[in-house]
């Protein structure tokens, strides 16, 4: 295959470490006039344009973006494909919301054509918002995951997804059995896990909707294939936490249910964790598990405020999740806007560089993919964004007052959304152009 080499010139910013570990100044690299060189879908060089240009052949194709910032693609560590059609469902908290809105909406994915239609819309929406990798819940129907992976494969995206396992406490039209969930998940793993840039996640919905038998088989699957992911929900809502205690009285608490069935580990991502206690954070960190912080959902469903400082104290891996359709936006910029407010309400701060970390490298670390995505380091996948400083009149005017990249970044996260994402590149290909 002939070498395809392209270069992109703009202001360039990426996270290189967690500010909680190294301090803010050492956590990022910023090139005011930067150059990103891409060879065959991978980043081959990053630096100051003035220095790098001299080392490149004179005829290299260079795309120059003015008034724009190149960043790594965003990483959404928790989202539900079959809830795309029910974002913004009025009035309920978690358990009633699931019964009233979520389950009926997810039931439509029994229809293959519907699954394919929504998978296309969903992937377009991810890319429009600058999300290049997501950890995705399908519905209970395997066809929801087939449709998603087929659409993602066409664009050579790095994506992770799984079919929901759910064999109790849900309507009959939406439940599987322990055995069928095991067999259907296994077939999806055989078909998709490790194909191109796709990965499979074993996906028990949450403890209340799985029997002990199903949770046992979920743990068994994780042992049968290398590098499988596990995704579920935990301690999102106080009523839910009480319900888990009633359903599993023999366990110490919510996390201990998952621990008992061997669902913790380096590729396990637990959504929400709003009501986790200190010991549970410590155990999650000890097992290398990660939590997806989903601020728009936690506010919309009235679930509570995620305690990020407590997670940091335990060195727990945290990624950012939109949790659409409990969450109200596909935009990780808007998700960071709400994350900032969640910290404010707890008397804490969220620096713009910590926010950038959460949306990029932090998410990559939560998914154990930091060697491939989350930064613009040479050798990694060329998944990156061009953010437009003039996306809206207000953004344009506001950024003219900015005195630093920190201020610019913070304003992008406060005022920015899908309109801010001018271009999205995945594996070096332009996959969205506003
Ligand atoms: N807990 C179990 N299922 C769900 C879901 O679909 N969304 C959210 N936010 N929480 C859940
Ligand atoms: Zn969720």
Sequence spans of domains, the chain: 5-73+375-433, 74-330
Residues with CB under 6 A from ligand 1: 80, 94, 98, 102, 205-206, 233, 236, 297, 323, 326
Between CA 423 and CA 434 the distance in angstroms is: 6
Candidates 80, 98, 300: which one to mutate for ligand 1, based on the most atoms within 8 Å of Cβ?
Answer: 98
CA–centroid distance, 95 to ligand 1, in Å, is 8
Q: What are phi and psi of 291, to 5 degrees?
A: -120, 140
* Residues sharing a CB contact under 8 Å with residue 306, sequence separation 6 or more, in sequence order: 272, 273, 274, 293, 294, 295, 298, 342
What is the position in ligand 1's atom list of the atom closest to the CA of 323?
Answer: 9
What CATH number is given for 74-330 in this structure?
3.20.20.140
CA of 190 to the centre of ligand 1 (A): 27
With the most atoms of ligand 1 within 8 angstroms of its CB, the residue from 240, 271, 304, 325 to mutate is: 271
Pairing of strands 28-39, 5-15: antiparallel
Task: Name the residue among 49, 41, 172 with its Cα closest to residue 104.
Answer: 172
Cα of 98 vs centre of ligand 1, distance in Å, is: 7
pLDDT for res 85:
97
Of 175, 108, 104, the closest CA to residue 140 belongs to 175
CA distances from 126 to 75, 133, 221, 354 (A): 10, 9, 29, 22
- Give the β-pairing of 42-48 and 28-39: antiparallel
Q: Which ligand approaches the C-alpha of residue 102 most closely?
A: 1
Closest CA to 429 of 82, 1, 3, 6: 6
User: Which atom from ligand 1 is nearest to the alpha carbon of 303?
Assistant: 9
Q: Strands, DSSP E only, in 211-335?
A: 229-234, 268-272, 290-293, 317-320
Distance 71 CA to ligand 2 centre (A): 26
Sign of the alpha-carbon dihedral angle for 331, 337, 338, 340: positive
* 224 vs 216: CA distance, rounded Å: 13
Give pLDDT, residue 152: 98
∠ CA(39), CA(408), CA(349), 5° rounding?
Answer: 110
Q: Which of 153, 214, 142 lies closest to 185 in space, CA to CA? A: 142
Q: CA gyration radius for the chain?
A: 21
Nearest residue by C-alpha to atom 1 in ligand 1: 233
Which residue's entry shows tokens 């059995």?
Answer: 177
Whole-model pTM?
0.98
Pocket test for ligand 1, best of 102, 144, 169 (most atoms within 8 A of CB): 102
**Which residues touch 196 (CB under 8 Å, ≥6 apart)?**
153, 156
Alpha-carbon distance of 137 to 269, in angstroms, equals 12
Contact (CB, 8 A) for 70 and 384: yes
Question: CB of 235 within 8 A of CB of 280?
Answer: yes
Tokens of residue 55, six digits: 């080392």
Counting ligands in written order, the one closest to the CA of 237 is 1
* Residue-level pLDDT at 4: 85
Which ligand 1 atom sits closest to the C-alpha of 137? 6
Nearest to 309 by CA among 338, 353, 278: 278
Task: Please tell me the distance from the alpha carbon of residue 332 to that of residue 343, in angstroms, as a whole number.
Answer: 16
Shortest CA distance to 383 belongs to which of 30, 99, 109, 70? 70
Beta carbons within 8 Å of 100's beta carbon, 6+ residues apart: 89, 92
User: What is the pLDDT, as a whole number, of residue 1?
Assistant: 56
The C-alpha atoms of residue 174 and residue 8 are separated, in whole angstroms, by 47
Mode of pairing for the β-strands spanning 42-48 and 290-293: unpaired
State residue 33 phi and psi, 5-degree precision.
-125, 85
Q: pLDDT truncated to tens, each residue of the chain (434 aa)? A: 567 899 999 999 999 999 999 999 999 999 999 999 999 999 999 999 999 999 999 899 999 999 999 999 999 999 999 999 999 999 999 999 999 999 999 999 999 999 999 999 999 999 999 999 999 999 999 999 999 999 999 999 999 999 999 999 999 999 999 999 999 999 999 999 999 999 999 999 999 999 999 999 999 999 999 899 999 999 999 999 999 999 999 999 999 999 999 999 999 999 999 999 999 999 999 999 999 999 999 999 999 999 999 999 999 999 999 999 999 999 999 999 999 999 999 999 999 999 999 999 999 999 999 999 999 999 999 999 999 999 999 999 999 999 999 999 999 999 999 999 999 999 999 999 99
Torsion over CA of 428, 434, 155 and 225, rounded to 10 degrees?
Answer: 90
How far is the centre of ligand 2, averaged over its atoms, from the C-alpha of 326 (Å)?
A: 7
CB-CB neighbours of 379 under 10 Å: 10
Instruction: Report phi then psi at 125, rounded to 5.
Output: -65, -40
CB 280 within 8 A of CB 244: no
| Rounded-to-integer distance, Cα 291 and Cα 301, Å | 18
Residue 156 structure tokens = 């050579």
C-alpha of residue 281 to centroid of ligand 1, in Å:
20
* Residue positions counted in the chain: 434
- Ligand 1 pocket test target in 137, 140, 144, 206 with most atoms within 8 Å of CB: 206
CATH of domain 5-73+375-433: 2.30.40.10
| 3-class state of residue 236 by DSSP | coil
* 8, 33, 130, 218, 394 from 48: Cα distances, Å: 11, 6, 24, 48, 29
CA of 322 to the centre of ligand 1 (A): 12
**Residue 292 preceded by cis peptide, ω within 30:** no
**Closest ligand 1 atom, residue 294 Cα:** 9
CA of 121 to the centre of ligand 1 (A): 21
């Amino acid at each position: 295959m002939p070498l395809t080499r392209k270069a992109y010139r703009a202001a360039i910013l990426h996270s290189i470490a967690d500010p909680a570990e190294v301090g803010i100044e050492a956590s990022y690299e910023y090139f005011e006039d930067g150059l990103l060189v891409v060879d065959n879908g991978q980043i081959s060089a990053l630096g100051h344009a003035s220095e790098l240009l001299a080392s490149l052949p004179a005829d290299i194709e260079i795309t120059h973006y003015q008034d724009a910032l190149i960043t790594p693609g965003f990483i959404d560590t928790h989202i539900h494909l079959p809830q795309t059609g029910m974002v913004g469902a009025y009035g309920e908290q978690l358990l009633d919301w699931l019964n009233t809105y979520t389950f009926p909406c997810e039931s439509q994915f029994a229809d293959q054509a519907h699954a394919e239609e929504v998978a296309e819309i969903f992937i377009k929406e991810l890319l429009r918002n600058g999300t290049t990798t997501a950890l995705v819940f399908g519905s209970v129907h395997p066809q929801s995951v087939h449709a998603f992976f087929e659409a993602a494969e066409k664009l050579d995206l790095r994506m992770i997804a799984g079919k929901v396992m759910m064999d109790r406490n849900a309507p009959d039209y939406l439940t599987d059995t322990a055995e069928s969930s095991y067999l259907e998940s296994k077939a999806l793993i055989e078909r998709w896990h490790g194909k191109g840039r796709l990965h499979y996640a074993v996906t028990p919905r949450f403890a209340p909707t799985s029997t002990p038998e199903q949770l046992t088989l979920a743990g068994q699957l994780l042992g049968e294939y290398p590098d499988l992911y596990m995704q579920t929900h935990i301690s999102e809502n106080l009523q839910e936490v009480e319900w888990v205690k009633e359903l599993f009285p023999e366990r110490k608490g919510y996390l201990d249910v998952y621990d008992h069935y061997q669902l913790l580990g380096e590729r396990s991502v637990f959504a929400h964790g709003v009501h986790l206690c200190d010991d549970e954070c410590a155990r999650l960190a000890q097992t290398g598990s990660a939590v997806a912080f989903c601020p728009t959902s936690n506010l919309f469903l009235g679930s509570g405020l995620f305690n990020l400082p407590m997670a940091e104290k335990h060195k727990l891996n945290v990624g950012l999740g939109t949790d659409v359709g409990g969450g109200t936006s596909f935009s990780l910029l808007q998700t960071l806007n709400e994350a900032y407010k969640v910290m404010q309400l707890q008397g804490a701060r969220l620096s713009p560089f910590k926010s950038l970390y959460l949306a990029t490298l932090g998410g990559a670390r939560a998914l154990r993919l930091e060697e491939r995505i989350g930064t613009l380091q040479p050798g990694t996948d060329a998944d990156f964004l061009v953010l437009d400083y003039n996306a809206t009149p207000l953004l344009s005017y506001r950024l003219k007052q900015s005195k630093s990249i920190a201020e610019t970044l913070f304003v992008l996260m406060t005022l920015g959304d899908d309109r801010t994402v001018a271009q999205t590149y995945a594996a070096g290909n332009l996959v969205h152009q506003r």
